[in-house]
């Protein structure tokens, strides 16, 4: 990753385009694979050091095929950068995370078990078996077509199950499903997660 390499070489805080960071030395194969995978046409990164040992990187990508970012667009990003940087420093000023503490043991076996149990039980008894399967696959990052193939059902059926499970869990997006899952994973003791 050109941004990570530049950061390791002392890239300062600020708004940086991929062209600036790579200084024209970007591997064409990397560029092709990255942009093909993301659909982005251009990338800009906000480098946000928040405290010793912690730097956040926020990446923005352009999806349309317009020309590169204009000077005005970059100037607007640079104009809001101090505010974003200040908010990030304020949020991440503490060295300890503000997430709930997991009751799972720190070893990888129990963590894997906790994740598997939490995935299998997300939504509790509010979801049907099939809705839970769709939720698990959504949490794994699969798209509609991949879920349909994995479960041997049609794309429309997957969309219906997703709509129903979102409704039952009062969710509006995959991000909200993931947030629900993380809270479920973090707060439920491994042995106490009930698989319906």
Neighbours of 123 (CB within 10 A): 20
Domain boundaries, the chain: 2-91, 108-192
Mean pLDDT of the chain: 80
> Is the per-residue pLDDT at 39 higher than 90?
no
Asked if residues 196 and 185 have their Cβ atoms less than 8 Å apart, the reply is no
Q: Which two tokens stand for residue 157?
A: 């059926």
Identify which of 97, 130, 101, 96 has the alpha carbon closest to the alpha carbon of residue 114.
Answer: 101
Confidence label for 9 from pLDDT (cuts 50, 70 and 90): confident
Question: What percentage of the chain has pLDDT greater than the value 90?
Answer: 28
Helix ranges (H only) for 69-123 are 71-91, 108-121
Neighbours of 186 (CB within 10 A): 15
> Is the per-residue pLDDT at 193 higher than 70?
no
List pLDDT tens digits, range 60-86.
877 766 667 788 989 999 999 999 999
* Residue 92 pLDDT: 76
pTM over 0.75: no
Asked if residues 86 and 128 have their Cβ atoms less than 8 Å apart, the reply is no
* Residue 104 pLDDT: 47
Confidence label for 93 from pLDDT (cuts 50, 70 and 90): confident
List pLDDT tens digits, range 114-148.
777 888 888 888 999 999 999 988 888 788 888 99
Neighbours of 138 (CB within 10 A): 22
Q: What is the CATH number of domain 108-192?
A: 1.10.10.10
Confidence label for 99 from pLDDT (cuts 50, 70 and 90): very low
Give strand pairing partners of 16: 45
Which of 10-19, 62-71, 170-179 has the weakest average pLDDT? 62-71
């Amino acid at each position: 990753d050109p941004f990570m390499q530049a950061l390791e070489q002392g890239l300062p805080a600020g708004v940086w385009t991929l062209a600036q960071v790579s200084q024209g030395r970007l591997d064409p194969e990397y560029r092709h694979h990255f942009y093909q995978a993301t659909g982005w046409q251009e990338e800009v990164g906000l480098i946000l050091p928040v405290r010793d040992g912690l730097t956040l990187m926020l990446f923005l990508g352009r999806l349309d095929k317009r020309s590169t970012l204009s000077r005005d667009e970059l100037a607007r990003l640079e104009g809001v950068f101090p505010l974003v940087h200040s908010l990030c420093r304020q949020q991440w000023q503490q060295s300890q995370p503000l997430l709930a503490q997991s009751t799972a043991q720190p070893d990888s076996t129990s963590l894997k078990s906790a994740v598997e149990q939490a995935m299998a039980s997300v939504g509790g008894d509010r979801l049907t078996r099939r809705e839970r399967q769709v939720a698990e696959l959504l949490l794994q990052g699969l798209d509609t077509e991949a879920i349909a193939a994995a479960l041997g059902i049609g794309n429309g059926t997957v969309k219906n199950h997703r709509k129903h499970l979102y409704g039952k869990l009062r969710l509006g997006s995959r991000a909200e499903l993931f947030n629900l899952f993380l809270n479920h994973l973090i707060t439920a003791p491994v042995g106490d997660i009930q698989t319906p």
